[in-house]
Structure 1
Amino acid sequence: MVTYTGEVTPGGAPDTRELAALTITKVAVDEQMSNNCYLLRCRSTGEQLLVDAAAEPDILLPLLGAGVLTTVVTTHQHWDHHRALADVVKATGAEVVAGEPDADAITSQTGVPVTRRVHQGDTVAVGDTTLEVIAIAGHTPGSIALLYDDPQGHPHLFTGDSLFPGGVGNTFGDEAAFVQLIDEVETKVFQRLPDETWFYPGHGDDSTIGTERPSLGEWRTRGW
């Protein structure tokens, strides 16, 4: 059995994690930006959800196989996370989900209507499984994370660009935005979720909440 690592590179093979009810496939696209995209498939129904149609639809669409893509979730409005959105939606007819404060910007940049605008505590289904929306403002006003609390294992959190191994997302020198982001990450993620929670960021390798927890104070002190 191949062990999932989450270590992927643009042009390389995807990495797949098999959970009891859900399959998670991670693939990196665009050599310059190296965005992560995550395809979630309900094992009982075959329905699929894509987290961030970032780029290269010729890479993303074949991952679907014979399965139906019902939903694309865009974690935030930044251009590198939705360049393939129009092509993926055109090919699949999938519902488009995004955080309310970022929805208009996503539509303006892509020409794709956001069919469902979500807020803190909303849920998004993929087949028989349910993901919870965690709104984390700071990197952008409408950034969202998706939580899958596996009843037969540990939680899984898709963080977009709000949380990475080694720190929170970029706030581009905006001190108030940084304080907002680290406050929300601390209260909505670290104070709530157990150490074994595995998180999947918008770029680079995965990590766990327990691995990053001791560094929270250091991140806050350094201001980025």
Structure 2
Amino acid sequence: MSYTGEIPPGDGPVIRELAGLTITKVSVGPMDNNAYLLRCRSTGDQLLIDAANEAPRLLELIGDAGLSTVVTTHQHPDHWLALTDVVTATGARSLVHTDDADGLPIPSETLADGDVVRFGDCELEVTHIVGHTPGSVVLLYRDPEGIPHLFTGDVLFPGGVGNTDRDPERFAPLIDGVEHKIFGRLPDETWFYPGHGKDGTLGNERPALPEWRARGW
């Protein structure tokens, strides 16, 4: 079965095989959080994006191959409820943007805009986008043999940007960051993987950017 990115709440995993990277997506917890386990196919090194919930399920997914790194996309608790248990069990390093580090339950190494996170022969480019939280990040994998793959946390979803509680002072930098740092830099075929729900492509969402800006959420 081809990968579509659709996964029933609390279900999964679903797996996408790229030339150099395997992406495993699973939905956890009562808030339908997506967690993504990335495995470098040449070395077997693994990285987890958002240890959101249900630590036993995530640890079963990680398996005997171990885990080198957990990246938390932002400080909201539904994205890190399993972080302490996963890090304690695996010895993985924990990474989060410096502006959201105080919101995590364990000490973590901090990220900044433009950083590169490496695991095995793979790497993720870090982009900081303010608005949903002060330290939200998106993570870009540039497939050398295919399309770009972007892990967006709660910054971007099919149908709109992340929640800012209708606060114009939070919405303005978020929509600006999404428009310029994501849509302004990456092509339409870029596939994105959000923190909840189904995946999307930038090409499908690009025509709606003016509508999102006009409605203010």
The answer to whether TM tops 0.5 is yes
Q: Secondary structure at the match of 2:84?
A: helix
Cα distance, 1:6 vs structure 2? 1.1
Q: Which residue of 2 aligns with 1:21?
A: 20
TM-score (ref. length: structure 2): 0.98
Which secondary structure state, in structure 2, belongs to the residue aligned with residue 221 of structure 1? helix
Residue identity matched to 2:85: D
TM-fit CA distance, 1:202:
0.2
Distance 1:10 1:90 in 2: 26
Higher alpha-carbon deviation: 65-74 or 46-55: 65-74
Query: 1:60 and 1:9 mapped to 2: Cα distance?
Result: 17
**Residues 68-83 of structure 1 mapped to structure 2, 5 A cutoff:** 68-83=66-81
How far off its partner does 1:64 sit? Answer: 1.2
Alpha-carbon displacement from aligned partner over 1:173-195 (angstroms, at most 9, x marks no partner): 21111011000000100000000
What number of residue pairs does the alignment pair up? 217
What is the CA RMSD across the aligned residues, in angstroms? 0.8
Q: Which runs of 5+ in 1 are unaligned?
A: none
1:6 aligned partner, one-letter code? G
The residue correspondences of 1:145-160 to structure 2 (distance < 5 A) are 145-160=138-153
Cα distance in 2 between the residues matched to 1:81 and 1:193: 25
Gaps of 5+ in 2: none
1:164 aligned onto 2:163:
no
The residue matched to 2:63 in structure 1 has which SS? Answer: coil
Q: Aligned partners of 1:58 and 1:135: how far apart in 2?
A: 30
Q: Pick from 78, 82, 89 the counterpart of residue 91 of structure 1.
A: 89
Contact between 1:40 and 1:126, CA under 8 Å: does it hold in 2?
no
What's the secondary structure of 1:69's corresponding residue? coil
2:178 aligned residue: 185
Indicate conservation of the 8 Å contact 1:9/1:27, yes or no: no
- The residue matched to 1:44 in structure 2 has which SS? coil
How big is the shift at 1:58?
Answer: 1.1
Q: Could you tell me which residue of structure 1 aligns to residue 124 of structure 2?
A: 131
Equivalent residues of 1:9, 1:29 under 8 A apart: no
**Structure 2 residue matching 1:41: 3-state secondary structure:** strand
Distance in 2, matches of 1:136 and 1:180, equals: 8
Counterpart-to-counterpart distance in 2, 1:215 and 1:136? 19
Paired position in structure 2 for 1:41? 39
The CA distance in 2 between the partners of 1:10 and 1:168, in whole Å, is 20
Aligned equivalents of 1:12, 1:163: Cα separation in 2: 22
Q: Return the letter of the residue paired with 1:156.
A: H
Shift of 1:65: 2.1
**SS where residue 205 of structure 1 aligns?**
coil
Q: Counterpart of 1:3? A: 2
Match in the other structure for 1:119:
112
Percent pairwise identity = 63
